[in-house]
Structure 1
Amino acid sequence: MSASYTAAPPKRSPHIDAIRGLAVLGIFLMNILFMGNTLDGYAKTSPAAPGDPLLELVSRIFFEGRFIGLFTLLFGVGLAIQFARASSAGNSEVNLEAHPAAQPNLNPIKRRLKVLMLFGLLHGLFIWPGDVLLSYGLSAMVAIYYLGAELNHLKRRAMQFLALGFSVLLVFATMLMGEELPARGTDEFIAALAPWIGSYPEQLIQHLTLMAAMNLLALPFAMLWYMAGMMMLGMWLYRSDFFSHGLSTTDTVRLLLLALALVALDLFCHAGSHPWLEAISQVTVIFAAIPVSLLYALAIIHIQRQHPNRLATLQRVGKLALSLYILQSIVGVLVFRYLFPEWLLEFNRIDYLLAALGWGLCQILIATVYLKFARQGPLEWLWRRLATGQHTRPGLATSNPSPGTDQ
């Protein structure tokens, strides 16, 4: 292992902004299937609605796990950027792996993570229990101890964390094999749906139960290793200049072949009739998403390098990622629980897809208009203010970023 990792303070990357914009818009393509009802996701009709099998296949290949995986990678990138800024500002050289007690550059990052976890807790309890911010904050508290590690060691640790995450998730998936979810419209489905569209106190009970289950059981034992590994992979990719220059042609072909192989394996497991294969497919879809999400990032980087202004709309969305992520939950829950709860019984996959695409266009418009008057999103500004104590208004915020959803 070499001495400590240090770097010059990085400039804001339009590549990363555009990739983050794609990720936050893409997340809603899947989250919309879970909003308003249980976190079991889309309830199938019996028989299947026209177009549902094809759209399920398309979603499995291109959407499911892809954008949340990309978002997790970018969270690690944000941590690496903030660490580089802190190291440069302090003019210090600290090998955190060799000297974990020496943490002058970690304290500001920890404060930001604690504020983010507070956002996640409030979001999960009072708006929608499918929150990822609390899980991100907890997982990042592990990942940050590798921010100063030597590059090869960081890559090796990321692979080890991901391998452990795969193994643990596989054990959980096989242990929790259950019966197929009830079809939409059945008495069982309606009974399960009732608390979610009932009174707000009933919904809070559901939120509290699910948040407790996820953060006391699922996260520490199952998801932490995967999330921390993905963040560490993001750190490694950032320090390897992936987000500036992409990959060589040879490495891109290798990544494409890996993606095809893992997607094929996932589709085989998903199509299998044996319960064990179905359980395994719950894990293979997560890990098949890793190379696919990197291919999405490569495509963005290539377009940005060839045509710097072509993806300006995605860049604007990426700058407001935290605010738009929370807004997605507010709008989704408001629409499906309060304004149009009948859609939970009526919508098929094509309806959800069209609704998500429509809301994606609205988010692009919101970001475009908002950034004409301000330089930071409202929650990005609040996050920075609570973490650092700075009192600048959103429209006058400095460009010094926070980790995670803002560079």
Structure 2
Amino acid sequence: MTDAARQPPRELAVDALRTLALLPVVAVNWVGYAALPDAGPLAAATPSASWLAQGALIAVAALLAAKGVTLLTFLFGYSQGLSRRARGADALAVRRRRMQSLLLLGLLHGLLIYSGDILTLYAACGLVMLGWSRLRLRQLRRRCIVLLAAATTLVVLVAPLMVLGAEGEPAATRMSLATPTDMLSWLGLNAWGFFTNVAALLLLGFLLPLGLMTAGLMAARLRLFSHPRWRPALQRYARRWLWPGLLLNAVWAVALWHGLHRAQPGWADAFYALGMQVAVPLLLGLVPAAVLAAQRGSVVMARLAATGRHTLSLYIGSSLVSLLLLSGAGLALPLGTAALTALSALYWGLWVALAPRWRGRLPLEAWLSR
């Protein structure tokens, strides 16, 4: 069998959704860069007296924050399901090798470039799930329900402790990756932030991504994004969840903004801990609408899908740009919240504009797909 025949089938909707999910990831990473490594992912709006900056922060929180990571997590599981279906008996060995490569890349990325790395968590979840694609659908459904319920219960229990634990803590004592310093000191601060971030995710944030990936694996098994039988259900979800999801996320965004604006780190951390759960209702409205547009042959979705083949490079590239422009080891540009929001959208837009011109895989994607 040729290498081309062994490649997982590409679904336009999956690639396009992956591109859409990267916009929130890049925007949140850049807007909240100054809060890392001690706080984040978002930071208080700067300049604080600017209504434009405050409005940009609320918009980022309502429309983008936690949405990209949540969607990417689901799509990660969906892609694992596609890989199994395409490769058959070889799927397990191929996925194990790719998860090991992704783990190595995540460790290097987190230690040397960006402490808020998400690749390490995805690789760890992927390694745990290696054999799950062999389970029956009802077994996957049971695991998904248990994981999501346990994750939600845990965050509801931990959130009040975050508020109490940070009570009285002055925000000024928190360190920032954007503070000008030498490269060695910056690397030490970034590495410490990465280790604490990974530890927190593995202890408190591991169940929810695992549950969402399981849901994605089930969706791939059911061919949710490609089989015509699911179109009526997708239409119902798009109509039913879009506006309630927007309202819920708007309320959540204002509460999060209040904690950041009033320098109440415990309040902000507690609300952000609920971000992925809050993002799900909105995604239940947006994702089906996007999938249906892809099935109708949307030109926009086709262009987004072209970028979706290079999202690993887009993600790592955004971290390199933030290292150069925003970090204390780089230029440490004192950009405000509105400017960072616009700059992140411009960076993402350039990828969308240029990606259709490229043929084949970029180096990072080619290395990971070996």
User: TM-score scaled to structure 2, two decimals?
Assistant: 0.84
Which stretch of structure 1 is more off in the superposition, 78-87 or 314-323?
78-87
**How far apart are 1:323 and its partner, in Å?**
1.2
Residue 326 (str. 1) matches residue 311 (str. 2): no
Residue of structure 2 aligned with 1:235, choices 196, 199, 217: 217
Q: Write the mapping of 1:199-238 to structure 2, written as runs, cut at 5 A.
A: 199-215=182-198, 217-238=199-220
Partner of 1:282: 272
Residue of structure 2 aligned with 1:306, choices 296, 317, 330: 296
Partner of 2:26: 28
The CA deviation string for residues 63-106 of structure 1, in whole angstroms up to 9 with x for no partner, is 1101111111111111111111232xx3xxxxxxxxxxxxx742
Instruction: Report the Cα distance in structure 2 between the residues aligned to 1:9 and 1:318, rounded to whole angstroms.
Output: 16
Residue of structure 1 aligned with 2:332, choices 331, 341, 350: 341
One-letter amino acid matched to 1:341: A
**How far apart are 1:256 and its partner, in Å?**
3.5
**Residue 21 and residue 180 in structure 1: after superposition, are their counterparts in 2 closer, same or farther (change >3 A)?**
farther
Partner of 2:344: 356
Residue 121 (str. 1) matches residue 91 (str. 2): no
**Residue 147 and residue 257 in structure 1: after superposition, are their counterparts in 2 closer, same or farther (change >3 A)?**
farther
Q: Write the mapping of 1:7-406 to structure 2, written as runs, cut at 5 A.
A: 11-35=9-33, 38-39=36-37, 40=39, 41-45=42-46, 47-87=48-88, 90=89, 105-177=91-163, 178-179=166-167, 188=172, 192-193=175-176, 196-215=179-198, 217-244=199-226, 245-246=230-231, 247-256=233-242, 259=245, 262-263=248-249, 266=252, 270=256, 280-337=270-327, 340-343=331-334, 347-369=335-357, 371=358, 374-385=359-370
Instruction: Report the Cα distance in structure 2 between the residues aligned to 1:35 and 1:283, rounded to whole angstroms.
Output: 18
**How far apart are 1:9 and its partner, in Å?**
8.9
**How far apart are 1:339 and its partner, in Å?**
5.3
Partner of 1:399: none
**How far apart are 1:276 and its partner, in Å?**
7.9
The CA deviation string for residues 186-235 of structure 1, in whole angstroms up to 9 with x for no partner, is xx37x8337853111111111221222222x3122111101111111111
**Residue 258 and residue 145 in structure 1: after superposition, are their counterparts in 2 closer, same or farther (change >3 A)?**
farther
Over aligned residue pairs, what C-alpha RMSD do you find? 3.0
**How far apart are 1:141 and its partner, in Å?**
1.9
One-letter amino acid matched to 2:55: L
One-letter amino acid matched to 1:355: L
Instruction: Report the Cα distance in structure 1 between the residues aligned to 2:344 and 2:47, rounded to whole angstroms.
Output: 24
**Residue 277 and residue 326 in structure 1: after superposition, are their counterparts in 2 closer, same or farther (change >3 A)?**
closer
**As a proportion of its length, which structure holds more helix?**
2
Instruction: Report the Cα distance in structure 1 between the residues aligned to 2:72 and 2:240, rounded to whole angstroms.
Output: 22
Instruction: Report the Cα distance in structure 2 between the residues aligned to 1:50 and 1:65, rounded to whole angstroms.
Output: 23
**How far apart are 1:55 and its partner, in Å?**
2.6
Contact 1:35/1:333 (CA < 8 Å) preserved in 2? no
Contact 1:165/1:226 (CA < 8 Å) preserved in 2? yes
The CA deviation string for residues 248-294 of structure 1, in whole angstroms up to 9 with x for no partner, is 43343443466257436635854689998655422332211123223
**How far apart are 1:133 and its partner, in Å?**
0.5
The CA deviation string for residues 359-383 of structure 1, in whole angstroms up to 9 with x for no partner, is 11222244233x1xx3112101111
One-letter amino acid matched to 2:249: V
Contact 1:38/1:196 (CA < 8 Å) preserved in 2? no
Count of aligned residue pairs for this structure pair = 351
Q: Calculate percent identity across the aligned residue pairs.
A: 23
Instruction: Report the Cα distance in structure 1 between the residues aligned to 2:349 and 2:56, rounded to whole angstroms.
Output: 20
Instruction: Report the Cα distance in structure 2 between the residues aligned to 1:53 and 1:43, rounded to whole angstroms.
Output: 8
Contact 1:73/1:230 (CA < 8 Å) preserved in 2? yes
Which stretch of structure 1 is more off in the superposition, 149-158 or 122-131?
149-158
Instruction: Report the Cα distance in structure 1 between the residues aligned to 2:158 and 2:346, rounded to whole angstroms.
Output: 36
User: TM-score scaled to structure 1, two decimals?
Assistant: 0.77
Instruction: Report the Cα distance in structure 2 between the residues aligned to 1:152 and 1:305, rounded to whole angstroms.
Output: 28
**How far apart are 1:138 and its partner, in Å?**
0.6
Instruction: Report the Cα distance in structure 2 between the residues aligned to 1:333 and 1:168, rounded to whole angstroms.
Output: 34
One-letter amino acid matched to 1:73: F
Contact 2:65/2:275 (CA < 8 Å) preserved in 1? yes
Contact 2:45/2:54 (CA < 8 Å) preserved in 1? no
Instruction: Report the Cα distance in structure 2 between the residues aligned to 1:351 and 1:33, rounded to whole angstroms.
Output: 9
